[in-house]
Amino acid sequence: MCELCFATNSCGLSLQCCVFVNVSPDVNDTVETLSTLQFGSSIRQVALGKATKNIRVEGASMQPFLNPDGRSDCDVVLLNRWSVRNYQVQRGDIVSVLSPKNPQQKIIKRVIGLEGDFIRTLGYKNRYVRVPDGHFWIEGDHHGHSLDSNSFGPVSVGLLHGRASHIIWPPNRWQQIKPSLPPNRGPLDTEEED
């Protein structure tokens, strides 16, 4: 039995993985096993690289849920890019999108409304907005510190980059991220409801 270990460094996180391999007296069997492990690892890295991504969340716009202490030690979240391939998100999801103001920047916000929803805005040019087809409404949890749909309006689903599925750093904050809406946010039944 032989232990093989490999390490990876991503977003300032060092991860190590070890596997145990039976070392056969026949050198050809051992080489074949190691080649299979290496090939499988390469496929897994490519597949995971397309399906997931670790991103560091900076700033106060998603406080108190993300970066609750406002420390320099920012939360790192796992983005599930596969789950949004058909632009399927739900209210309460935390998503990463290309900024409508700067396409070189990705921002992370919470989905408040989906296409067809009536939203009561927070300082947007219109008090109520019907989210158009092919768009959704996103907001930061910390409204006073967030550049979001209340600044630039509904966001095209084509700008969707991924859905945050887990907080993976720091270790004491590890948790699955489940969809939830902040109090008094979400769609209205009609434009006049308040």
The 3-state secondary structure of 124-158 reads CCCCEEECCCCEEEEECCCHHHCCCHHHHCCEEHH
**Under DSSP, is residue 181 helix (H, G, I), strand (E, B) or coil?**
coil
Using DSSP bridges, classify how beta strands 135-139 and 128-130 pair: parallel, antiparallel or unpaired. unpaired
Angle at 75 between CA 57 and CA 42, to 5 degrees: 85
User: Tokens 């996180």 appear where?
Assistant: 13
**Annotated catalytic residue 109:** yes
Question: Which position among 96, 109, 146, 149 bears the catalytic label?
Answer: 109
**Annotated catalytic residue 61:** yes
User: Tokens 């630039």 appear where?
Assistant: 152
Question: Which position among 14, 50, 53, 61 bears the catalytic label?
Answer: 61
* Cα 97 versus chain centre, distance: 9
Instruction: List residues with catalytic annotation.
Output: 61, 109
